[in-house]
Amino acid sequence: MKKVFSESLRILPDDWLNPLPLAHWFPAGGAGQRPLEVDVGCGKGRFLLARAAAHPDADFLGVDRMIGRLHKIDRKAVRHGLTNIRWLRLDAYYAVTYMIPENSVTTYYIFFPDPWPKKRHREHRLFNAPFLDSLFRTLKAGGQVHFATDHLPYFDDVVAVIKADKRFAKIPPFEPAGEERTDFELLFLGKTPIGRYSFEKQRG
Ligand SMILES: C[S@@+](CC[C@H](N)C(=O)[O-])C[C@H]1O[C@@H](n2cnc3c(N)ncnc32)[C@H](O)[C@@H]1O
């Protein structure tokens, strides 16, 4: 029999064609009154859960396409009484491009996105010029993006695309505290070098 799961923190929009009404989904904050941090490809949510627990004054959105991983986040967030997390099961490019409102995000975390190492699969990579347009549109002025990957050729490609885009400025890389290391990072830590790059939307 199919398992029925109670989803408390899911964002399930009525309208998939227009930006989310954030004030509806984040009633504690809403309408841009609190910082909004988005974990793109949040996986099982070790980072998202730790970050949300440490920052009750901000709202957190996890986006992933794997429902089982998101259900784990839902369960843990409810168990720990975290009211500042919501999750959206959706393709990350679609979510950032069409569902996140303009000028609404303080921080994006994009940790260990699938690197698609084969040349014929490159088109599946998340970071490209249109995705940067979507990040730019949805970030607040001075909003930040933190990226990390264990795949150094992918790291070099992403950094080259960002450096070529004068709408963004490099900032010191985000170094997670121990409890904020992601599930994937824990797999690689001490075994593989990790590339980290952070940048912000230029003000003015
Ligand atoms: C390598 S895992 C990293 C997960 C997490 N950020 C971490 O560091 O532990 C990549 C995650 O991105 C999700 N993902 C990959 N492509 C995606 C896409 N196009 N849209 C949404 N999620 C995606 C996968 O389901 C997976 O959970």
CB contact set of 120 (below 8 Å; sequence gap of 6+):
none
C-beta of 69 in contact with ligand 1 (< 6 A): yes
Report the pLDDT value the prediction gives residue 134, as an integer from 0 to 100: 97
User: What local confidence, expressed as pLDDT, does residue 50 receive?
Assistant: 97
Q: What does the pLDDT read at residue 117?
A: 79
Query: Of the residues 114, 157, 165, 183, which is catalytic?
Result: 114
pLDDT score, position 149: 96
Q: Tens of pLDDT along 79-115? A: 999 999 999 999 999 999 999 999 999 999 999 999 8
What pLDDT is recorded for position 1?
A: 59
State residue 185's pLDDT score: 94
Q: Does the CA dihedral 128-133-134-139 come out positive or negative? A: positive
How many A from CA of 92 to the centre of ligand 1? 9
Could you tell me how far CA 147 lies from the centroid of its own chain? 9
Comparing CA positions, the residue from 107, 102, 84 lying closest to residue 176 is 107
CATH of domain 34-201: 3.40.50.150
Is residue 204 scored above 80 in pLDDT?
no
pLDDT higher at 203 or 142: 142
Instruction: Give me the phi and psi of 124, to 5 degrees please.
Output: -80, -10
Which of the residue ranges 1-10, 51-60, 167-176 would you say has the lowest mean pLDDT?
1-10
Cβ contact 160:168 at 8 Å: no
Residue 42: band (very low, low, confident or very high) from pLDDT cuts 50, 70, 90: very high
Tally Cβ neighbours within 10 Å of residue 72.
17
The pLDDT, as a whole number, for residue 29 is 60
Q: What is the per-residue pLDDT for 153?
A: 93
Residue 42 makes CB contacts below 8 A (sequence gap 6+) with 48, 62, 63, 64, 69, 70, 73, 87
Quote the ligand 1 centre to 42 CA distance (angstroms).
6
Burial of 85 (0-12, 13-18, 19+ CB in 10 A): buried
User: What are the structural domain ranges in the chain?
Assistant: 34-201
59 C-beta closer than 6 A to ligand 1: no
pLDDT in tens, 4-40: 667 799 999 999 999 999 999 987 765 568 999 999 9
Is residue 195 in contact with ligand 1, taking CB distance under 6 Å?
no
Alpha carbon nearest to ligand 1 atom 14, residue: 41
Mean pLDDT of 61-82: 96
Q: 184: Cβ below 6 Å to ligand 1? A: yes
Judge contact between 108 and 145, C-beta under 8 A.
yes
Q: What is the pLDDT of residue 74?
A: 96
Whether 157 is catalytic: no
- Judge whether 59 and 26 are in contact, CB under 8 Å: yes
pLDDT digits (tens, 9 = 90+) for 119-166: 888 888 898 889 999 999 999 999 999 999 999 999 999 999 999 999
Beta bridge partners of 199: 145, 170
Identify the pLDDT of residue 30. 54
